[in-house]
Amino acid sequence: MANEISIGPAAPGCKKHDPILVADNVMRQFGGLTAVNVEHVEIPRGQITALIGPNGAGKTTFFNLLTGFDKPNTGSWTFEGKNLAGVPSYKVARLGMIRTFQLTKALSLLTVIENMRLGAQKQPGENFLRSLIRPLWAKHEAAITVKADDLLKRFKLDAKREDYAAALSGGQRKLLEMARALMSEPKLVMLDEPMAGVNPALTQSLLDHIKDLKKNGTTVLFVEHDMHMVRHISDWVIVMAEGKVVAEGPPAQVMKDPAVIDAYLGAHADTDLGTVAINVPGKAGN
């Protein structure tokens, strides 16, 4: 079972040739419930990695932990060799690791173009004193506007440029959030269920955008609970269940893994995976 990405055979926690993100012993408990308990995982650089698993498997919590939006009980993780444990979320973003959210966080009462501009980093005009004097930031503003318009065109949102983000459809908001994340030219984009709530017509274009990201050298890590959606675009799949990494490998191989099928079918054989609120570990296995 050799592959190009991992050193040795694919197995939960296996080493990668060129990891961009490495996490060790990350555990998060809510009350008595262990939401995440990842011993070791590595995210390969320059690839599209899918993080899948049934609802309640701890994917989003893991995302929150990695990006500083939540604090683990224990654990450490590094991004490009830099230790990220305890680093606040905004600093994580500044290092080039930008995330999106499961429930889209388009800033409703800002226009689409303002949303985009907000995504750019190191803006001189975002400093309080400099903001008062327009010439100090006008040039940079013009530059990021050009970039924003470019991205909007790519994501086919240019017609909505001046609309409030509140006026966009759910799928368009997902696109906007992704485009906004790209404003800062991140090294790693972490997308939390980019396909959820998006109508089928837009899904394909979203998938294409994700593939484009890889072409431009950006690493992508995305959460999805629909295994079939994942197959087409990901190079690597990590499966979580009950807070743990239970399998990983190239998509075709993972899909056949009995542990994966068990994780899905055992937990929610006949439910729509999108609707179950939270999965208590004790109940799922036994």
Q: Is 60 a binder of another protein (CB under 8 A)? A: yes
Among positions 4, 9, 17, 30, the unique one binding another protein when judged by CB under 8 A = 30
Helix ranges (DSSP H) in the chain:
59-66, 89-94, 112-119, 128-131, 135-154, 170-182, 200-215, 227-233, 251-256, 258-268, 281-285
Residue 164 dihedral angles phi and psi, to the nearest 5°: -70, 145
Q: Is 118 a binder of another protein (CB under 8 A)? A: yes
Q: What string of DSSP letters covers 241-274?
A: ETTEEEEEE-HHHHHH-HHHHHHHHHHHTTS-TT
Q: Closest approach of Cβ 4 to another protein, in Å?
A: 31
Q: Is 271 a binder of another protein (CB under 8 A)? A: no
Based on its alpha-carbon atoms, the radius of gyration of the chain, rounded to whole angstroms, reads 19
Q: Closest approach of Cβ 98 to another protein, in Å?
A: 7
Report the residue number, 35 or 210, with the smaller CB distance to another protein: 35
As a whole number of angstroms, the distance between CA 284 and CA 286 comes to: 6
Candidate ranges 7-15, 42-50, 109-117, 208-216; the one touching another protein (CB under 8 A): 109-117
Q: Closest approach of Cβ 215 to another protein, in Å?
A: 23
H or E stretch at 24: strand 19-30
How many residues interact with another protein (rule CB under 8 A)?
50
Report the residue number, 213 or 254, with the smaller CB distance to another protein: 213
Partner residues linked to 180 by β-bridges = none
Report the residue number, 6 or 100, with the smaller CB distance to another protein: 100
Report the residue number, 63 or 155, with the smaller CB distance to another protein: 63
Among positions 39, 141, 149, 235, the unique one binding another protein when judged by CB under 8 A = 141
Partner residues linked to 191 by β-bridges = 222
Report the residue number, 114 or 257, with the smaller CB distance to another protein: 114
Report the residue number, 221 or 247, with the smaller CB distance to another protein: 221
Q: Is 180 a binder of another protein (CB under 8 A)? A: yes
As a whole number of angstroms, the distance between CA 127 and CA 260 comes to: 49
94: burial class by Cβ within 10 Å (0-12, 13-18, 19+)? middle
Candidate ranges 18-26, 132-140, 231-239, 255-263; the one touching another protein (CB under 8 A): 132-140
Q: Is 169 a binder of another protein (CB under 8 A)? A: no
